[in-house]
């Protein structure tokens, strides 16, 4: 799965092309250079929030629309990653349970030492 910058770039390109605009036209409306627009679309730029606001204005959309319908740019696990995450979670839960048991077993000893002093 492409990284967030690549997904954002693809979304920006789609919005621009849907409006029939060139990078130059969007750049002029946004107060950005066409080179910046191109870098964003290629996913090579890591634009700041101010730049994204300008870009949204240049595209004639709300800032949130740059990220697509709810969750469109959100990371989605693959089946392999989901299985790995489940295994990792089970392993971590087991380790935490062992640590908790060890801490519970140690607690009475500490309490006894405090009472004997």
Q: How far apart are the first and last CA of the chain?
A: 62
Q: Which two tokens stand for residue 105?
A: 């077993």
Domain ranges of the chain: 4-67, 77-117
Q: Which two tokens stand for residue 25?
A: 């036209």
> What is the architecture of the domain spanning 4-67?
Orthogonal Bundle (1.10)
Confidence tier at 102 by pLDDT (50, 70, 90): confident
pLDDT digits (tens, 9 = 90+) for 69-101: 755 554 555 666 677 777 777 787 777 788 777
Average model confidence (pLDDT) across the chain: 81
pLDDT score of 36 = 96
| Inter-residue contact 8 to 74 (CB < 8 Å) | no
pLDDT score of 82 = 72
Least confident span in 4-18, 21-35, 98-112? 98-112
């Amino acid at each position: 799965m492409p990284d967030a910058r690549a997904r954002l770039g693809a979304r920006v390109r789609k919005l621009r092309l849907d409006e029939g605009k060139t990078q130059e036209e969007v750049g002029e409306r946004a107060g950005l250079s066409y080179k910046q627009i191109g870098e964003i679309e290629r996913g090579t730029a890591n634009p700041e929030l101010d730049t994204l606001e300008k870009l949204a204005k240049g595209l004639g959309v709300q800032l949130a629309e740059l990220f697509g319908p709810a969750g469109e740019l959100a990371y989605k696990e693959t089946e392999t990653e989901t299985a790995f995450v489940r295994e990792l979670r089970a392993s971590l839960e087991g380790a935490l349970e062992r640590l908790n048991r060890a801490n519970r077993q140690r607690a009475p000893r500490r309490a006894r030492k405090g009472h004997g002093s």
